[in-house]
Amino acid sequence: MLQKIVFVSMLVTSASINAQSLKKNLIHNGDFAQGDKAWQLEYGMSVSTTPEENEMDFSDNTSALLMHALEAPQDGYIHSRNARQCIPIGEARKLQFSGDFLYRDELPASNYGHRANLIWHYEVDCSGSAQFGWFLEPKIKSGWQSLFIADVEPALNAKAVEIEISQDQHSSRKDFMFWEAFYYWVMEKLELSDRDTLSAGYWDNLDLQITQLEEPDQARDHLSDQPTLPHNINLLRNGNFDSSLEDWKHYYSEWNANEGSTKKGAVRVTLESSTGSSGSGVFEQCVNIGNHRRFTMGANFKVDEVSSQTGGGRMRVSWYEEENCRGRHSTDSRHVDPQKIPGWQQLSVPFLDAPRNSRSVSVDAIQSIDGKGEFSAFWDDMYFMAIE
C-alpha cells in the first residue's frame, strides 16, 4: 500500500528545554480544555464533549479530541486524518508519552485504526525530513483506556517531535455483523452510502515528558579516537555473496549458486502474500565507520522471472551513535530503488554523509510485494565505501 500524504503547516509550541523541563508536559493543550488551540486539525476531527459515562477521573475537563473520519475509497493508497502539533525537544535523551482513549460507539475490526504517533524531525519547526518513532495504540475494548510508553529515545540528532493523532480511513472500520456488512456493501454499490462506517474515538490527556537530558559528554562529537579506514575499499564483509550469506543478518533470504551479476553466487529473496501489498527488511550488515564522514554504496538487483506477482526493493542505511549499531539512530533519506525492468540492474547512491555523532551504520536491503502471490528477486555485489 502507498500512503497519500497531506502536507500542512504545523503549529510549533516554543519552549526552552532545560533541567526545569524535566517531568513537565511539553504538549500544549493536551487535555483540549482550550478547544483546538495549538493543534492543527484536518477535516474529520474536532474537539467535543466526552460522554457522561466516564469510567475514569478526568478532573473538571469534559473536552476531548474526537476522531470521526469517513471511510476513504479503496484506491491502493493509505488514507488517514490527522491532528498535529510540533514540539522542540532540545537535548532530550529520554521521554515518556501517554494518553487516554475511548471508542465512541461500535468497536472496530482491527486495532490499527487509531494511533498517537511520535515523529522525529531534524528542524525545530518540523520541516524537512523526518523519521517515524513510537506510538500509542488502543486495544479493541469498551471504556476509557490509559496508554503509556516509557524510555522513548529520539532519533539521532532530532531537534523536534511531531505529535500526530491519526485515524486510518480503512483499518478503523467497524466490526460489522454479516447483514450490516452486506447492507453497506449494497449501499456503496448503489452510491448511496455516506461512508460513515468507521469507529470514531476520543483522545484526551495527552502528555509528553522529558525524563532524561543529554549529559555534556553525550552531546559532543568526538572522532579523534576513531580509526581511519581505507578509501574506496568495500567495507562490507562478503558483499559479493560468492559462496554463502555469512556475515549478514537475513530474513526470507537464501544463497543461490546459479545466479550472479558478475560471477555465480547471489542472494535470492522471496516474499509471499495472501492478502495484499507488504514489505520487509530482508538482509543487513553493521559497519563501524571510523572518522570518515562521506561514503558511497550500491548493489546489483534482478527480478526472478518465475515470480507470480510484481514487487520492488530498496537499499538504504541507518546511522547509529555508538559502534556496532547500538544506541540512537537515524534512517538516511537518501536511498535507491530498482526499476521494474528485466535483467540485472545497477543500484547506487553516489554520496552519503554520516550525520554528527554517528559511529556506525547499518546497510539494509528491503523488498516489497505489490499484492497477492509470490515475488522473488536476486541481490548481488553490494558495496559500502568511504570516499572522504
Q: How confident is the model at residue 307, as a pLDDT?
A: 96
**Phi-psi group of 76: left, alpha or beta (phi > 0 → left; psi -120 to 50 → alpha; rest → beta):** left
Q: Which of 196, 197, 202, 228 is nearest to 146 (CA)?
A: 202
261 and 143 in a common domain: no
The answer to whether residues 197 and 272 belong to one domain is no
Examine residue 234 and state whether it is found in any structural domain, yes or no. Answer: no
- Asked whether residue 281 falls in the same domain as residue 195, the answer is no
Residue 361 near residue 322, CB atoms below 8 Å: no
Nearest to 259 by CA among 294, 304, 222, 297: 304
130: its cell numbers: 523526518
Both 98 and 19 in a single domain? Answer: yes
**Number of domains comprising the chain:** 2
| Structural domain boundaries, residue 260 | 249-386
Q: In this structure, are 264 and 121 located in the same domain? A: no
Among 213, 232, 263, residue at a domain's last position: 213
- Any domain includes 28: yes
H helix runs in 234-362, sequence order: none
Q: Which of 213, 241, 257 is the last residue of a domain?
A: 213
User: Do 332 and 319 form a contact (C-beta atoms < 8 A)?
Assistant: yes
Whether residue 70 is contained in a domain is answered as yes
The phi, psi pair for 181, rounded to 5°, reads: -60, -40
| Domain-embedded: residue 206 | yes
CATH number of the CATH domain containing 201: 2.60.120.260
304 and 360 share one domain: yes
Nearest alpha-carbon partner for 171 in 52, 275, 280: 275
Q: List, in order, residues 6 or more apart from 30 with CB less than 8 Å away.
A: 99, 205, 206, 207, 208
Are residues 191 and 259 both part of a single domain?
Answer: no
* Predicted pLDDT of residue 10: 55
Is 314 in contact with 377 (CB distance < 8 Å)?
no
**Please, are residues 282 and 254 in contact by the beta-carbon 8 Å criterion?**
no
Query: Within a domain: residue 266?
Result: yes
Instruction: Kindly state whether residues 58 and 176 are assigned to the same domain.
Output: yes
Residuewise pLDDT in 10s, the chain (388 residues) = 334 333 344 556 655 555 557 889 999 999 999 999 999 999 888 998 876 555 554 445 679 999 988 887 766 677 889 999 999 999 999 999 999 999 998 888 877 889 999 999 999 999 998 999 999 999 999 999 999 999 999 999 999 999 999 998 877 777 655 555 554 555 555 554 555 678 899 999 999 999 999 876 554 555 556 677 788 899 999 999 999 999 999 999 999 999 999 999 999 999 999 887 889 999 999 999 998 999 999 999 999 999 999 999 999 999 999 999 999 999 999 999 999 999 999 999 999 999 999 999 999 999 999 999 999 999 999 999 999 8
In a domain, 378, yes or no: yes
Distance between CA atoms of 104 and 95, rounded to whole angstroms? 29
pLDDT of residue 216: 67
